[in-house]
Structure 1
């Protein structure tokens, strides 16, 4: 086989030539095949011209030539539509052609569509259209095709069901290895690189396919976060074994994000590195220089405890004021100056 890359023919071009001959034992005949083709791209238009000649010891000889052209279009919001045309002629089957257009819709390309029309000298024209949807709770495919002699409609629904200690989660069709994602308070947030997969109203989602014995990154899509959702770490890596169901949990905080300038009752700053805890006992921030601490997922009237040691004298308490007013910035954060008072002894 001879192959000439684009460096010899020009940018984005290639030519190939292939010749083969097969001889038979105790026979004077042979099979001969010659193939040649040229591919190139001009201004995003891809085209190729192919020729094939076959001479067979057992069947008729045949010659064929094929022209293929594909043209992508980019619409608004980087939405792409692909068009493709094929025209072929052979000695044995005559002339045939096909034209098609396909593309995707919706924010993460989870809705795909295609329309195709084909023609040949035997069955004449055949036309088809199809829609595919990769959904949060399963996949749907529907299609319709018709020609002079037949009509065909199809509908296919597929999905999966995962039962776990948190309930039951519907999903796209499952592979032998997959991941269950838990992200409470992140309902509606998508999983990156997983078309159609989103956190359901109960705080769960299923990544239907994982690669065993490889690092699989599961990431929440930050573009889906609203102003009141904070996820300190939105990416998790797993290395599943074959056939394993991996559980991936993300800590989420829903509420206001607040930058607090804290002082103690005597006007001094809390110690650098003091930790701030929510009433549930979850750590939600560290004190920085000048008593500044950033917390997220908090609400009006919530009490936060600051600790920098084990004794009662090494802790104090902050009570958040009313936070429910129009946010001054799109991120819905607040900036407050508050006094951290000594925690009442119990």
Structure 2
């Protein structure tokens, strides 16, 4: 029968739908087709037979479960899904509504809340749950309630960075450096064990020095019910009130990342200027927390974890050995808390005076909290006591002044008793301000002022006096500010940052950076950019280090650029460079230039290459300065993740962000989440970074699937806790695609709409069309499939051998 004729007749029948069901008059069909259509599939709108079904679950279109088995059971003339208590807990209902729901025969009873609707999308095998927003605990596109968070699976991990370099001057000692740092870890349920390591070997013509060790080992777990994180072991004391230090002990602290994005905190930004292919290392209390390679010119680091607090040490190591060091204040923005909320932190233990595992004798205990007293006013404060020698108390207020910005002010009193028996008491005052000017689109990211009396000591400063008194200075005054101003009509952006510090018994210092960027067109040349940066570091009664940098960049197509750079410091250099990023896996560049006051006019040549793979990232760089020196460097970063399901090497994960292992049923070469993650020979891939406590979608790149590979579910979306190893299976098949005609033993064929099911993997691979035609994809020799229709009616088909020799449609018997 003509297909169009059948569709027209079927469409006409749809207009006779009653409120309850559809009754088809089969007499309108040709007699030969009356037994060829599975009418049970069309009789009820969204009808489903009682039984167990494997489905994903979405609440208001947000996926909360990628797959679980649910039971549909008959209730009179209707069939309804049974929602177990565990799934009801994940729906994100308000606590009072969830507590009012009762359990009936193992299923949560939603009969008193008819506004909550459950609909099965059979095409996508998904249960859609519709819940009025007023019944949900929080509405956000980027946040799901804690009940839906996943702690992941147990496993081992290793995140590593490998660096190697050699420096060969024309005169002087040759030097070589090999170093590595990273993190090893173990996950068990919600608990995460982490250990940071550092290894370094430096060699020159006369000596060799090797250092190695574990800088810290700690255990932590999230506590979603408290909105907090518990940490045990060697960790850092991070506080918005008291100065930071390293210690061994325990901490329980509110975690802003568990809050919706709108309520989260602030992370510092670091900027500077590199003179060569330099290595930027960011440390906190002697522990490396960030290291990266930057090209000559201005750089900005804006992806530090927002939990970092206190003063950060930044070291810019040039490839010729020169080192520029400065500090960045990572103080928090004004301490504001939403009305009625309390944010807190408690910690106890023994301080570590240096990077070693040695701890001092006195045990400290601290507590701090912020309370949203009113809509725009917060009160905060804290106490810190150590043994019988140190006491500190702080109180403060934070005020949202609306169009005037946000302001916080606090006072800290400290009493310190030193080894010689004398006691010093003093006060420290601090003022923070933040403001965005909408009229000019200006942003004062952070402006802070702090003044400390002569006999005031923070606990970190008190420890320094006890163990390193000769080199310890007492802070008197600190001023820090950062300001950003875009000038849209001119395509210009200005950024200013400054930090000035004064000590009672030492010189003052000032560090400032001014950066301006300008984008413009010049005739047929589009997308040119001109940038300039000025940086100064000044110590009182010593020389001032000023640097000026000017760069002009000219695009050639989408991903190639010609650059001119001028840098002026103690010397002046002019460089011309070419960069090519047309191949996303291989980015390379070369440059040549001159520098004043250097041999042979300072002629220099440089080259660099970055190669990205699914196993990790490789960076190579080399330089040659005529009659001066030559250098080579290489780095490799990557990670290894192993679970009971499998093992995979992958691109490096950073910090304690979740990583997601994707299992494609042994199918290799499946691209996952971008161009640089694909399944290995065992069928595993790891997406190295997902956001903690925020819904993350993991997608298969359907356009780059290998030939003969079929994926049933291309996108999975879930929320993982900090440090989790997520595990998701993506039903994949590899094989051939063929067209078949199904025939029953009596010479007929299964009805239109019958489902072809693979029992082994519990997935549907196709559906019977008119006159027994079906398309089977991703199949292999000798496989068997069930063809199902009506009320438990079925037959079985078996595939032949040597499918690769089949060139035309195959007729398969269905027994």
Name the TM-score, length of structure 1 as normaliser: 0.72
SS in 2 for 1:324: helix
Q: Deviations over 1:312-337 (max 9, x none)?
A: xx22222334532376xxxxxx6444
The range that moved more, 278-287 or 134-143, is: 278-287
Q: Which has the higher helix share?
A: 2
Give the deviation of 1:37 after TM superposition.
6.2
Equivalent in 720, 734, 737 of residue 254 of structure 1:
734
Match of 1:215 in 2: 695
Q: Deviations over 1:19-77 (max 9, x none)?
A: x9x9xxxxxxxx9x9x896723222341327598x9x9999999998653212223xxx
Matched positions, count: 309
Match in the other structure for 1:26: none
Matches within 5 A, 1:46-57: 46-48=528-530
Residues 116-131 of structure 1 aligned to structure 2 (within 5 Å): 116-123=591-598, 124-131=602-609
Residues 236 and 15 of structure 1: CA distance in aligned 2, closer, same or farther (over 3 Å): closer
In structure 1, list runs of 5 or more residues that go unmatched. Answer: 23-30, 328-333
Q: Write the distance in 2 (CA, Å) between the matches of 1:39 and 1:299.
A: 59
How far, CA to CA, are the matches of 2:515 and 2:588 in structure 1? Answer: 33
Match of 2:710 in 1: 230
Offset of residue 339 of structure 1: 4.0
Contact 1:45 1:69 in 2 (8 A): no
Shift of the 270–117 alpha-carbon distance from structure 1 to 2, 3 Å rule, reads same
Trace 1:188-337 onto structure 2 (pairs within 5 A).
188-193=669-674, 195=676, 197-278=677-758, 280=760, 282=762, 283-308=764-789, 314-321=793-800, 323-325=803-805, 335-337=809-811
Could you tell me which of 163, 172, 185 is aligned with 2:642? Answer: 163
Aligned to 1:71: 554
Answering whether residue 621 of structure 2 is matched by residue 143 of structure 1, we say yes
Please say if residues 666 and 684 of structure 2, whose CA atoms lie closer than 8 Å, have aligned partners that are also in contact: no
Contact 1:47 1:67 survives alignment (8 Å) = no
2:632 matched to which residue of 1?
Answer: 153
Q: 1:269 to 1:156 in 2, by over 3 A?
A: same
In structure 2, distance between residues paired with 1:339 and 1:114: 62
Aligned with residue 100 of structure 1, among 550, 572, 577: 577
Greater relative contact order structure (CA < 8 Å, 6+ sep) = 2
Contact 2:530 2:553 in 1 (8 A): no
User: Pick from 586, 591, 598: which aligns with 1:111?
Assistant: 586
Is the CA contact (8 Å cut-off) linking 2:741 and 2:812 kept in structure 1? yes
Q: Secondary structure at the residue paired with 1:223?
A: helix
| 3-state SS of paired residue (2:720) | coil
Instruction: Say if 1:219 and 1:50 are closer, same or farther in 2 by CA, change over 3 A.
Output: closer
**Structure 1 residues 165 and 4, CA gap change in structure 2 (3 angstroms):** closer
Q: Which shifted more, 200-209 or 142-151?
A: 142-151
Which runs of structure 2 are paired with 1:75-90 in the superposition (5 Å)? 80-87=559-566
- Structure 2 residues without counterparts, runs of 5 or longer: 1-441, 443-483, 501-509
Tell me the C-alpha RMSD between the 2 structures: 4.0
